């Protein structure tokens, strides 16, 4: 990255890692190659024993290790290490479009009401289920309750307390909705440049396991006043089907992928519903 320019707002890009050697290089290269250069890169790991730290240190000397395997605590830690006017939270399996940071800065600096930015996310991968996930996510672009902000005004990030460290899986939505609750819906903007999430060789079983694990924190998420109305939409399988079938030509352009999307989403809802039910019964939520 180029030398920092004091005349342009500094962006603290926080990347959390944990056994990320298979995809971290592509993520960090995409940050390095941004058209906007006034970036400080901060990487927070949880003592990975693979090559994650070696890769990270090739891109920045601001690499931290903390005793936290869940991403919320690592995100907060990284954000508090930064000095930027803005905080940008990136997962280690993401690849940024070259203009993402530039577009976020332009949007924020030209609209005094904005406090956070939603960046559309795509999925890329080689397996059948990764292709199904890619098709699924393409239906969510522009749907407010299915997208969450990742780019924040630093002061507002601190003001609302950052990520809820007892929340895993829905913390992205939770934080954005707390910002919106405090500053109104006009505080959340959106750009058209995208982030790609590298699903690699995603399997249906892995996807369902993730939904089951994350759903154990949903009871706490659902009762928060900032989240309760949106959670009713997010937890409705029928509403999700309605989104898919609103564009039947797109859904069934490849009939096999279309059926795969419907089956994957149904299986994920069953897994997530089971995790949610067990959390309600036993009163346990995941902790970061």
| 16-27 pLDDT, tens digit each | 999 999 999 999
Q: Give me the residue label for tokens 């352009």.
A: 253
Q: Which of these, 274, 276, 267, lies nearest to 129 by C-alpha position?
A: 267
Q: What CATH number is given for 11-202 in this structure?
A: 3.90.550.10
**CB within 8 Å of 224: residues ≥ 6 apart:** 174, 177, 178
Does the pLDDT value for residue 5 go beyond 80?
no
Does the pLDDT value for residue 253 go beyond 90?
yes
Segment among 43-47, 120-124, 222-226 with least mean pLDDT: 222-226
Nearest-angstrom CA–CA distance, 13 and 286: 26
Nearest-angstrom CA–CA distance, 137 and 40: 29
Nearest-angstrom CA–CA distance, 269 and 261: 12
Q: What is the pLDDT of residue 288?
A: 33
Q: What is the pLDDT of residue 200?
A: 78
Residue 97: CA count within 13 A, CB half-sphere: 16
**CB within 8 Å of 29: residues ≥ 6 apart:** none
Does the pLDDT value for residue 217 go beyond 70?
yes
| DSSP codes joined into one string, 171-234 | HHHHHHHHHHHHH-GGGEEE-S--EEEEEET--HHHHHHHHHHHHTTHHHHHHSTTTHHHHHHH
The stretch 235-264 carries a mean pLDDT of 97
Q: What is the pLDDT of residue 168?
A: 79
Q: Which tens digits make up the pLDDT trace of 152-207?
A: 999 999 999 999 988 878 899 999 999 999 999 999 999 999 999 998 789 999 99
Does the pLDDT value for residue 220 go beyond 90?
no
Q: Against a cut of 0.85, is the pTM above it?
A: yes
Q: What is the pLDDT of residue 2?
A: 43
Q: What is the pLDDT of residue 24?
A: 97
Q: What is the pLDDT of residue 101?
A: 98
Q: What is the pLDDT of residue 6?
A: 58
Q: Which tens digits make up the pLDDT trace of 45-72?
A: 999 999 999 999 999 999 999 998 789 9
């Amino acid at each position: 990255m180029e030398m920092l320019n004091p005349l342009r707002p500094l962006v603290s890009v926080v990347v959390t890692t944990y056994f990320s050697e298979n995809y971290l290089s592509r993520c960090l290269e995409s940050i390095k190659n941004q058209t906007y250069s006034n970036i400080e890169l901060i990487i927070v790991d949880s003592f990975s024993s693979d090559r994650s730290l070696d890769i990270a240190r090739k891109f920045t000397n601001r690499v931290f290790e903390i005793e936290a395997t869940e991403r919320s605590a690592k995100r907060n830690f990284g954000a508090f290490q930064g000095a930027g006017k803005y905080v940008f939270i990136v997962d280690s399996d993401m690849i940024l479009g070259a203009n993402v940071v530039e577009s976020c800065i332009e949007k924020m600096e030209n609209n005094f009401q904005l406090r956070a930015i939603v960046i559309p996310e795509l999925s890329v991968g080689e397996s059948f289920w990764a292709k199904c996930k890619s098709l699924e996510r393409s239906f969510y672009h522009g749907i407010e309750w299915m997208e969450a902000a990742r780019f924040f005004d630093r002061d507002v990030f601190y003001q609302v307390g950052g990520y809820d460290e007892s929340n895993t899986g829905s913390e992205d939505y939770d934080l954005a909705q707390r910002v919106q609750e405090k500053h109104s819906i006009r505080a959340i903007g959106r750009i058209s440049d995208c982030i790609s999430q590298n699903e690699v060789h995603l399997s249906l079983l892995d996807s369902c396991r993730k939904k089951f694990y994350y759903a154990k924190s949903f009871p706490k998420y659902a009762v928060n006043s900032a989240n309760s109305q949106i959670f009713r939409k997010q937890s409705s399988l029928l509403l999700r089907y309605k989104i898919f079938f609103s564009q039947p030509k797109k859904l069934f352009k490849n009939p096999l992928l279309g059926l795969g999307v419907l089956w994957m989403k149904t299986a994920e809802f069953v897994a997530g519903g089971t995790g949610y039910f067990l959390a309600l019964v036993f009163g346990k939520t995941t902790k970061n």
